[in-house]
Chain A
Amino acid sequence: MEEDDGAEEQQRFSYRQRLKAAVHYTVGCLCEEVALDKEIQFSKQAIAAISEVTFRQCENFAKDLEMFARHAKRSTINTEDVKLLARRSNSLLKYITEKNEEIAQFNLERKAKKKKKSEDENKNSTEQAEAGVVESEN
């Protein structure tokens, strides 16, 4: 039992390390893009710090999301929870809301598409979807 626990913990730990490494890699890629964009260099320590902070913040977000979902008496995390989480930053909230609407619209269109099984209807819906996408993009 203890060995299992130890192994499990070790497994968890290694899993966590892999996650951290993935985050670190992603942060590194993003920083490179920003560096190219702003023509400024990022030191390794800075990237490491950013990735560590990101990782910890993700943990916090997860906990908060779970709390929000439970607060709303749900067992699944919803986009509403995400929006509540992102409310602090106005731009982020706006972005998330737009994306949310886009996805919802896309889902509706897809459903409409599936319901109408005739080809003509499909064509019409695709045209509408495209128009809708264009509109949403605009």
Chain B
Amino acid sequence: MADSGSPDSEPTTRTLLRRVLDTADPSTPRRPRSARAGAQRALLETPSSRRLSSQTKTTARRRSQRIRSIGKLAHVQASGYLEEQTPRTLLKNILLTAPESSIVMPKSVVKPGPAPQVVQPSSRESSRGSLELQLPELEPPTTLAPGLLAPGRRKQRLRLSVFQEGMDKGLPLSQESRGNADASSLTSSLNLTFATPLQPQSVQRPGLARRPPTRRAVDVGAFLQDLRDTSLALAPPGESLTAPVATLPTDTVLEDTQPFSQPLVGRSPSVHHSLPCPSHSGAEDAERAVSHRTRSTGPRLQNNSPGKPAQLLAGKAEVDALAMNFPNTSSSIFGEVGVEPLQDGVGGEAEERTEKSLSMSKVKEAARARGSARAQEPEGHTQVTEAEGSQGAIETKEPEGSSGDCPTSSRRVSPELASSTPEFLQAKRIQGLEPAPPPSTAVLPSEPLEPLSARLPPRARTPGPKACQNPYKTGLSHYAKLFSFYAKMPMEKKALEMVEKCLDKYFQHLCDDLEMFAAHAGRKTVRPEDLELLMRRQGLVTDQVSLHVLVERHLPLEYRQLLIPCAFSGNSVFPAQ
């Protein structure tokens, strides 16, 4: 599942699914996304053995899956059965086997070559049982190892006969899941006619058909080149970890299913990068992740290998972490907006935005680590869509630099927004997140420092070292950037620093107050009531304006549901839990 969709591709089912898979938090023990990074097992001599093992397992599986492109359907089905049958695996199978092109070509194209069709329909039929959806497949990569096809072929042969019968009947055979109406094709496989221009190629290896090679050639070449360039660029900066590996900054979002070339290249850098600064990533990522969403689209993918990890991280961060918002100046715009969606709808949004599926937490970490340093142009584009921004949305509170305490750090509330409870909730989550980073496991949900580094190659440098030096303070830099954005004027560095200082004190004070309020009520945990009290003292909540009114005014719908018990209950109010 290397390909994250061609840069030019519009969001197709495939890309969406991919994004879903990539960004969704893996509930399974193995990390599918990290698998890509693990593709470079050999390269990974990283300390995180855990990651390695998970990666290797997944990588092995992936590789095998990819390799057997033709028989993929059959093989996938087999492997799918072998592995746990989870929606995730099913989706993966679909992505692996479904043809890339979702374009429904005129029937004339479909006609040629019953052979490929034979294989595909048979596989399709067989796969129907296992796969619920069949996405259009592009032509299979020609890199399939013939040996691996053997097992698949056997199965296919059985179905060939069936298919041939169908063919003989003169029904327009749809190539196996070519065509957009894939879902519908399930019912009327024979009636659908999906035409891929490159069908003739698929004749030889129909199972491998993913994308038209013409499309691929350019992309891959350019991409590889970018990767090499970036890797070369990266090497000098001295990634100690990645030194042995040909670090390609990025990610795995390799376009499509060219299993061998890109994954190897892309994975290692991301993996290694994650190692260097796990600590930084923790605090920073939490904040960054939240705020940044991968904005970059296709074109960026190729160019920004680091960007991808960043994006992925961002996406991941958003999904996983509830984290925090770290700012890119550009992202600051999204910050407010982004943060909110983080909460529950984050996953969905992240999927959409993060095109690249590389949302491996590791990748993110790597991206983070590197983020600032790498500032190379290709990387620089990690303009992670900072959706999650600082928002008042509270859920993802980033660990603020101000105080080591989780509650203090977690409050990144824009003073204007009265996001009381959500903040609180987020703060709690952040607390949970903060301990995670230190272990330096790639699983940091929050993430991303990347966005900062991504900006421009020269500038990216500065955030990097800063991030390393003061991971707590980097969280504030996000808000400072927001501040500078809203100022609509260029700001001096010193001014920004002062703003950071003030914000630091403000948040510290805020969190101290909350802590005292909680203690006052004889509790050890800060609860929404404490936050309401704080807001009342601030004057945001008055006798005329209640907390719920503020919630409705400023927070998105998802939060409202969380905070106001009666919001969605219509006329019936259920007892509070």
Contacts and interface: CB of A to CB of B under 8 A. Distances in A.
Interface of A: 64, 67-68, 71-73, 80-81, 84, 87
Given A67-B536, A71-B529, A84 B516 contact: yes
B520 A80 contact: yes
Contacts, number: 22
A64 B537 CA distance: 7
B533 A73 contact: no
Interface of A, secondary structure class, is helix
Given A84-B516, A87-B516, A73 B521 contact: yes
A72 B521 contact: yes
9 contacts: A64-B537, A67-B533, A67-B536, A71-B517, A71-B533, A72-B522, A73-B521, A80-B520, A84-B517
Pairs of residues from A and B, 5 with the lowest C-beta to C-beta distance, nearest first: A72-B521, A71-B533, A84-B520, A71-B521, A72-B520
Interface of B, secondary structure class, is helix
A72 B520 CA distance: 6
Interface string B510-529: 00000011001110000001
Contacts of A72: 520-522
Interface residues of B, number: 10
Given A71-B520, A81-B520, A84-B516, 4 more contacts: A67-B537, A73-B521, A84-B517, A87-B516
Contacts of A81: 520
B566 to A, nearest CB: 22
Contacts of A67: 533, 536-537
Contacts of B516: 84, 87
A68 B518 CA distance: 11
Nearest to A80: B520
A80 B517 CA distance: 11
B524 to A, nearest CB: 14
Interface string B529-556: 1100100110000000000000000000
Contacts of B530: 71
A73 B522 CA distance: 10
A84 B520 CA distance: 8
B195 to A, nearest CB: 69
B454 to A, nearest CB: 42
A98 to B, nearest CB: 19
Contacts of B517: 71, 84
Nearest to B530: A71
A84 B530 CA distance: 13
Nearest to B517: A71
A71 to B, nearest CB: 5
Contacts of B520: 68, 71-72, 80-81, 84
Contacts of A68: 520, 533
Interface string B389-411: 00000000000000000000000
A64 to B, nearest CB: 6
Interface in B359-395: none
Contacts of B537: 64, 67
